[in-house]
Amino acid sequence: MSLPPFSCRFLAAAVTLYLIGLLCVGADTKDVTVPNIPGCSNEFQMVKVENWVNGENGETFTAMTAQFGTMLPSDKDKAVKLPVALTTPLDSCSNLTSKLSGSIALSLRGECAFTAKAEVAQAGGAAALVLINDKEELDEMVCGEKDTSLNISIPILMITTSSGDALKKSIMQNKKVELLLYAPKSPILDYAVVFLWLMSVGTVFVASVWSHFTSPKKNDEQYDELSPKKSSNDDATKGGAEEETLDISAMGAVIFVISASTFLVLLFFFMSSWFILILTIFFCIGGMQGMHNIITTLITRRCNKCGQKNVKLPLLGNTSILSLVVLLFCFVVAILWFMKRKTSYAWAGQDIFGICMMINVLQVARLPNIRVATILLCCAFFYDIFWVFLSPLIFKQSVMIAVARGSKDTGESIPMLLRIPRLSDPWGGYNMIGFGDILFPGLLICFIFRYDKENNKGVSNGYFPWLMFGYGLGLFLTYLGLYVMNGHGQPALLYLVPCTLGITVILGLVRRELRDLWNYGTQQPSAADVNPSPEA
């Protein structure tokens, strides 16, 4: 079969451009914390607001509590449904003339401070204060430096303009409006991480064994020897395909991690919609190339004659008809995903493209031995720890997690992540794992599989089964750390590197094969190998 319309080397170049922004696990924090001020709770709650108009249940909307005031119950059964009344005056900046005893006060965002509104509403007998914001966002209502002796004993929360206007309109039409306020908590770990774990482990496993199970069978090779001589184009194609690999050097590994840090900082400071759009286009190109190669490989594996029909095209020369058809299909899929990338189901297409791309990248980029693997993974190990845990000391927030979440203004996020919806979280969101947490250990595991195969090691004395177990264990420890750290984003390589590289080194020492693993592929042939003695 002829080469695809664009070469795997272009894939390697395009993928490298955005893989230097490799990300770790990004976990949504549940609460927003601010500096400690006496009289303030230092914690914001996201609130579910259920409403009834004349007894008819309306659409539930979202609100956010203030930094001051009492907390709302997290259990819906413990919440109390109360009537709503407009304040007079509407901005609640002066003494109220309306009767609010036992009701929820509905007020507009006015000129005075949030704390002043809360004190006025509480003095008027309100059971809670709901402020209507002047825009379709929820702003943080914080304490001032002088608010050191607040005594607010009612919940204070804010809703968006559209939600507030609908409630205000119903009240002004003399309709009975009632609200039920509660703040359900997000689970630290969602059971959907099991599927994310399976996707990650499965991607590494498939990428490792891909070339072994998709290479021509011996029977096919014997048949090829008996078949008519292949053309020079076919020989060139075969030779080109064999050369489509890139061995990572020790210096390249260091430069790669330094470039990754630089690119990550650029993403952090220039997280604009056009920048993310460029990265998304590169993601589509890489995903399309990966899907194309996987589909054509699987089809030709089942039907060897399917890829033999060629067509001559301008600029491309002789190209397989199968390759063109599959390329067109992948292009249509990429365009559809790009147009629908902000929908609730776009994560599925993103994961498919990402998995195809990573499998393909792990066939192109290779580690030659454990020496280079140690340099690359140790650099990535400290890279991950610095940008997750230490970067807040410099940039006031975790650079890695901020980049993983994307831009709040445009709703765009970088696509170099595997995502799956949080199935048990009332607030939605996604569980995520970065490509780097799959590709970095995947390079080592792919090398180990090749080492086992070339040295005829079976399951019992091989390294590959142990490293697959170690990778799965490392991911499990990552999510365990996420639970222990109360949902704070974790650098997955902190756990994955010891569980993969560490296991390799320990097994190599025990089996006395570490020297061979360390210098694999670099040993000079002995004199006996170069000039073998004649047989007696």
Residues that are catalytic: 384, 437
Other beta carbons within 10 angstroms of residue 277's beta carbon come to: 13
The SS3 call for residue 386 is helix
Query: Strand, coil or helix: what is 153?
Result: coil
Gap between the Cα atoms of 446 and 460, Å rounded: 18
Range list of β-strands (E), 203-313 = 246-247, 310-313
Residue type, 249: S
Q: How far is CA 290 from CA 35, 97, 285, 286, 363, in A?
A: 47, 68, 9, 6, 10
Calpha distance 1→319 (Å, rounded): 8
- In sequence order, what DSSP letters do the residues of 390-440 get, joined into one string? ITHHHHSS-HHHHHHH--TTT----S-EEEEE-TT-TT--EEEEETHHHHH
Report DSSP letters for 135-148, one per residue.
Answer: SSS-------TT--
| Amino acid (1-letter code) at residue 360 | N
Residues 6 or more apart whose CB falls under 8 angstroms from that of 127 comprise 82, 102, 103, 104, 154
Main-chain phi, psi angles of 298, to 5 degrees: -65, -40
- Say if residue 398 is exposed, middle or buried (CB neighbours under 10 Å; 0-12, 13-18, 19+): buried
Write the burial class of residue 408 (CB in 10 Å: 0-12 exposed, 13-18 middle, 19+ buried).
exposed
Residue 61 phi, psi (nearest 5): -130, 175
b/e for 514-532, b at 16 or more Cβ within 10 A? beebbebeeeeeeeeeeee
For residue 125, give the nearest of 153, 99, 91 by alpha carbon: 99
Under DSSP, is residue 487 helix (H, G, I), strand (E, B) or coil?
coil
| Token pair belonging to 49 | 């607001």
C-alpha to C-alpha distance for 239 and 253, rounded to whole angstroms: 27
Rounded CA-CA distance 26/405 in Å is 7
User: Residue 214: which of 285, 101, 302 has the closest Cα?
Assistant: 302
Amino acid found at 346: A
Place of tokens 């590197």: 497
